[in-house]
Amino acid sequence: MQSSVEKLESIFQKVFKKTEMKITHTMLAGDIVGWDSLTNIVLILEIQKAFQIKFTANEVIHIKNVGDLIHLIEQKLLKAPTQPK
């Protein structure tokens, strides 16, 4: 089973079309060529879809780096109701 970071990294690779991309907690949007406002929207939508979570606009605005994003995802996953099998 993939960890949250591994799953997030695969989303980054898909969105930025860079299969060898490695993410770090300190990575900023400016560190990645092509990470602009439109790509940011696509990235957020892909993350919400993959993790089955929703971000508020306020939460997205306060994400400063990939570490903040990972922390927010993990918070959302802890609060998510468990799905019946």
Q: Flag whether 65 is in a domain.
A: yes
> Does the residue 85 lie in any domain?
no
Residue 84 lies in a domain: no
- Identify whether 43 is part of a domain: yes
38 falls within a domain = yes
pLDDT at 81 over 90: no
Can you give the CATH number for the domain in which 49 is found?
A: 1.10.1200.10
Which two tokens mark 84? 């019946």
Task: Mention every residue, 6+ apart, whose C-beta is less than 8 A from residue 72.
Answer: 55, 59, 63
Query: Is the pTM here over 0.95, yes or no?
Result: no
Number of domains in the chain: 1
> What would the pLDDT profile of 39-76 be if each residue is shown by its tens digit?
999 999 999 999 999 999 999 999 999 999 999 999 99
Q: Which domain holds residue 12?
A: 4-79
With 0-12 / 13-18 / 19 or more C-beta atoms within 10 angstroms meaning exposed / middle / buried, residue 83 is exposed
| pLDDT tens track for 8-50 | 999 999 999 999 999 999 999 999 999 999 999 999 999 999 9
- Give the pLDDT score at 83: 56
